[in-house]
Amino acid sequence: MNESKTYGFTTTILHSDRQKPIEHGSLHKPIHTSVTFEYKDSRELAAVFQGRQPGYRYGRQGNPTVAALEEKITRMEQGTATICFATGMAAIGAIVQALLREGDHVVSSAFLFGNTNSLWQTAAGQGIDVSMVDATDVKNVEAAITPKTRLVFVETIANPRTQVADLRRIGELCRDRGILYVVDNTMTSPYLFRPKAVGAGLVVNALTKSIAGHGNALGGSLTDTGLYDWTRFPNILDTYKRFNPPQWGMAQVRAKALRDFGGSLGPEAAHHIAVGSETMALRLERECANALALAQMLEADDRVAAVHYPGLPSHPQHGIATELFRAFGGLMSFELRADIDCFDYLNRLKLGISTSNLGDTRTLVIPVAHTIFYEMGPERRASMGIAESLIRVSVGIEDTEDLLADFRDALG
Ligand SMILES: *Cc1c(COP(=O)(O)O)cnc(C)c1O
């Protein structure tokens, strides 16, 4: 690989590990299970601990297999550095642990992954004030900003109702105000969209989903895009200011969240995620094509009351999705006509599997209000546009005709 040449998305992933020497000419970075790392010269050990020399010290703070994955994700997002975590939630939790303090304020999209919504409630209990706004219009974000606002948090395409945040204009707002802009890119993945393009400072990816892609490993990551000026962030501790300012944020996250809270990604999971990521573009092409075909078929059927998919012209943010994303993603949701019971419908599916994950190679379905959004209650569900009969579909890579026939036949 020629470092000065710009390669395509998949070429870059496939040849990422080889940019550094790999033991014995391995093509995969090996799974390093050692918890600790020896230094023959103890002065070097001290230099590594003091951050004067790169190197590994203890597996909780870093591991060579995980570091190879971190580099891959940095390349995917065209960022400057990435930190991996045990899960996507550990990555989002790291933002709260490492970057926020009591008295701080956060503006968050109200259309959120359920556990992130719950995390903001936890943060509120710890003195961090969170305003939840309809982020499909930048005006609502702007109106919520206060002098104590430390960051704005949005998802690209919200799960399960597929609202698309006003990504570009929120980026401009955050840039003008010097506020950290955090974008959870899980629903689009770096193949369909790079949040750096709209000014994000930090990018979250739940690696569990499209990047690993096979439902066989959990993981999460935070990527610094290099766009945010950390000297404008009031919560950087003096000890991390010994690094160059572009490194302040990630230095503090690695120490205050990964080291102190320990939600570290294991090397075996990092290997699964790295292998899965090699076919991400191929999988997503099929997934997105299947999702569009399924959404079109369901929308045309009068037994279906509503279909939510950004690829449909009827979707309120179809325009911005067309402008910003390479394709419209593998996630859609729909409501059946009132006389069709959603549980009976799901039970009639032969290929759609009733379960909670998404971004798998297989098509997964779930009755949202009765499962993942049950705990929040009917009022909050209604405010998020979640109908009691809503079915979420994470579309897989099955042969298109098989999938369409399964969802059509189950209608009765
Ligand atoms: C799944 C998901 C997460 C959390 O990831 P886990 O690996 O399950 O912890 C965060 N954000 C979004 C948008 C997700 O879909």
Per the DSSP assignment, residues forming a β-bridge with 164 are: 157
Task: Tell me what pLDDT residue 381 has.
Answer: 87
Question: Is the overall model pTM greater than 0.75, yes or no?
Answer: yes
Q: Report CA(73)–ligand 1 centroid distance (Å).
A: 16
Domain range 9-277, CATH class: alpha beta
Task: Tell me what pLDDT residue 1 has.
Answer: 63
Ligand 1 in reach of 220 Cβ (< 6 A):
yes
Ligand 1 in reach of 159 Cβ (< 6 A):
yes
Domain ranges of the chain: 9-277, 281-409
Helices (H) and strands (E) in the chain, counts: 16, 12
Whether residue 303 contacts residue 340, with contact meaning beta carbons closer than 8 Å, is answered with: yes
Per the DSSP assignment, residues forming a β-bridge with 84 are: 221
Ligand 1 in reach of 360 Cβ (< 6 A):
no
Question: Does residue 225 sit in helix, strand or coil?
Answer: coil
Ligand 1 in reach of 184 Cβ (< 6 A):
yes
- Residue nearest atom 6 of ligand 1, based on CA coordinates: 88
Q: Report CA(126)–ligand 1 centroid distance (Å).
A: 22
Phi, psi (deg, nearest 5) at residue 109: -60, 140
Q: Which residues contact 106 (CB under 8 A, 6 or more apart)?
A: 100, 120, 123, 128, 129, 130, 131, 149, 150, 151, 152, 153
406, containing H or E segment = helix 400-409
Probe ligand 1: pick from 89, 368, 393, max atoms within 8 Å of CB?
89
Number of the ligand 1 atom closest to the C-alpha atom of 207: 7
Number of the ligand 1 atom closest to the C-alpha atom of 91: 9
Ligand 1 in reach of 187 Cβ (< 6 A):
yes
Give the pLDDT means over successive 10-residue stretches in the chain (412 positions): 81 94 93 96 94 93 97 98 98 98 97 92 96 97 98 96 97 98 98 98 98 97 98 97 96 97 98 98 98 98 97 98 98 95 96 95 96 88 88 98 98 90
In this structure, CATH architecture of domain 281-409: Alpha-Beta Complex (3.90)
- Residue nearest atom 4 of ligand 1, based on CA coordinates: 88
Ligand 1 in reach of 113 Cβ (< 6 A):
yes
Task: Tell me what pLDDT residue 259 has.
Answer: 96
Ligand 1 in reach of 155 Cβ (< 6 A):
yes
Ligand 1 in reach of 208 Cβ (< 6 A):
yes
Per the DSSP assignment, residues forming a β-bridge with 206 are: 220
Task: Tell me what pLDDT residue 2 has.
Answer: 66
Task: Tell me what pLDDT residue 114 has.
Answer: 87
Number of the ligand 1 atom closest to the C-alpha atom of 112: 13
Distances (CA, A) of 332 to 220, 255, 370, 408: 22, 38, 17, 16
- Residue nearest atom 8 of ligand 1, based on CA coordinates: 88
Probe ligand 1: pick from 161, 185, 186, 203, max atoms within 8 Å of CB?
186
